[in-house]
């Protein structure tokens, strides 16, 4: 029986972690991207994961996104949210008969992919953490994966890879919970250049974190999404439990890469405007990260 072929769009930290776990679980894995160093290293050295217990590697394949793409049985989209529109046609090229799933941050990724593919895409949310240490090398942090409708094939594949997985009808609420956490932690940590836990040490910064999360909760409520938790309390708890982590947005700014601010605070501000919900803290964070991105690039 042939191995399940998983095609992963992305060569960043999360793509490296999921690719390695899936490969170790028995799947054939191909990463698709444009980072020359990663594309060169993966076929030679595989994907290397650093964990508390030690490091390990798993063999994988890699192809450039502009080359002829292999067909996957499952296609997993893990690129930054700002790249979704650009890669969606290439996802379609690799997914004739494949189940397509996204675990990306922010809003709108599934809808963008579905518009191009012309069919449904599995929505997922993950708390698995990843810090990119170099091309095809990442530090992994424990977490779980939640998947929405029509997700049995992906869920079984993830379980085989040793991932903690659940399938839930409440995926929209989980997506907005994670959005509240990301909008509260990522921009502040990136702008201040500090790990997550440091945001709790200053009263003013802590107040901004709480306010940003509650604005996201207010927008979700206006959309009819029931979070089931206090988004501010959730953001504070995540900041505590990931105190030593550097957020993905901080990692992006440090290496001069575009951030996901538009799919996070930007999406909240736009949806808040549509629903007439005030989002001044998210708007300010959006503007400040945009300015920092321009400064870094220039």
Question: SS3 letters for 249-285?
Answer: HHHHHHCCCCCCCHHHHHHHHHHHHHHCCCCHHHHHH
d(CA 87, CA 79): 8
Selection from 284, 235, 230 nearest residue 261 by Cα: 284
**Cα(44)–Cα(155) distance, integer angstroms:** 29
178 is catalytic: yes
CA distance 53 to 35: 29
List 80, 92, 160, 178, catalytic entry: 178
Nearest CA to 279 out of 221, 223, 219, 229 is that of 219
Spatial contact of 260 and 248, defined as CB atoms under 8 Å apart:
yes
Query: Which sequence positions are flagged as catalytic?
Result: 178
């Amino acid at each position: 029986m042939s191995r399940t072929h998983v095609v992963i769009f992305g060569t960043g930290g999360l793509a490296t972690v999921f690719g390695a776990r899936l490969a170790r679980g028995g799947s054939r894995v191909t990463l698709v991207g444009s980072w020359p160093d990663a594309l060169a290293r993966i076929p030679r050295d595989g994907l290397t994961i650093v964990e508390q217990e030690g490091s390990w590697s798993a063999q994988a394949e890699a192809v450039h996104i502009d080359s002829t793409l292999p067909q996957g049985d499952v296609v997993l989209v893990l690129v930054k949210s700002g790249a979704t529109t650009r890669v969606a046609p290439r996802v379609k090229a690799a997914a004739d008969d494949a189940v397509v799933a996204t675990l990306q941050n922010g809003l709108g990724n599934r809808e963008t992919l579905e518009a191009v593919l012309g069919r449904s895409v599995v929505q997922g949310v993950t708390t698995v953490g990843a810090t990119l240490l170099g091309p095809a090398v990442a530090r992994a942090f424990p977490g779980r994966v939640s998947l929405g409708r029509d997700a049995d094939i992906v869920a079984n594949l993830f379980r085989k890879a040793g991932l903690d997985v659940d399938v839930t009808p409440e995926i929209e609420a989980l997506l907005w919970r994670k959005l509240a956490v990301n909008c509260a932690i990522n921009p502040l940590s990136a702008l201040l250049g500090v790990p997550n836990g440091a945001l709790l040490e200053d009263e003013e910064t802590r107040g901004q974190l709480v306010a940003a999360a509650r604005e996201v909760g207010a927008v979700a409520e206006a959309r009819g999404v029931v979070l089931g938790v206090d988004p501010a309390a959730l953001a504070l708890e995540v900041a505590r439990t990931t105190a030593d982590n550097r957020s993905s947005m901080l990692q992006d700014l440090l290496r001069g890469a575009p951030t996901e601010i538009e799919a996070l605070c930007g999406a909240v501000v736009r949806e808040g405007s549509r629903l007439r919900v005030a989002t001044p803290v998210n708007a300010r964070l959006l503007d400040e990260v945009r300015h920092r991105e321009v400064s870094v690039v220039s």
